[in-house]
Amino acid sequence: MDINLASGCGCGGSRFPLSSAADRAAALVAREKHVSKVLIFNRSRCRADTARARQLAMYLSHVVLGQSLTAVGVAFGRDRTTVSYACALIEDMRDDPGFDDEVTRLERLLENTGGDGSE
């Protein structure tokens, strides 16, 4: 695991190891959802839109980038059971065709580019 350090934003954040896979997924989600990447990695839940963006980034890290639940949890400063919950939630939300299309587009961006949506 490539170890970097991410810091919180002042609303309860702390320092924790950051994997390159998690960073790639978070950068993409932050850009697409207009949420600060710092907030995505924050230890606090922050606002609902930030929490949902974090859940989506955790889902993409696990499902698309193949990171274990434990590795994703470490990268995002969460327990593996929280990551499992986030993945199940995003899967359930994919029953909505519009949301499924959005997630599919993000999955393709991660698979076909450098991971942050840049070419």
In terms of DSSP H, where are the helices of 34-94? 37-40, 48-63, 69-76, 80-93
pLDDT at 13: 39
Instruction: Tell me how far apart the alpha carbons of residues 84 and 80 are, in angstroms, rounded to a whole number.
Output: 6
pLDDT tens column, 85-106: 999 999 999 999 999 999 999 9
Q: Which two tokens stand for residue 56?
A: 């989506």
Instruction: Tell me how far apart the alpha carbons of residues 10 and 41 are, in angstroms, rounded to a whole number.
Output: 12
How crowded is residue 14: how many other Cβ atoms within 10 Å of its Cβ? Answer: 12
pLDDT tens column, 44-89: 777 889 999 999 999 999 999 999 999 999 999 999 999 999 999 9
pTM: 0.80
Each domain of the chain, given as residue ranges in start order, spans 4-112
pLDDT band at 114 (very low <50, low <70, confident <90, very high): low
Q: Which two tokens stand for residue 10?
A: 């002042």
pLDDT tens column, 2-21: 333 333 333 333 344 556 88
Strand (E) or helix (H) holding 4:
strand 4-6
Q: Quick one: CATH architecture of 4-112?
A: Orthogonal Bundle (1.10)
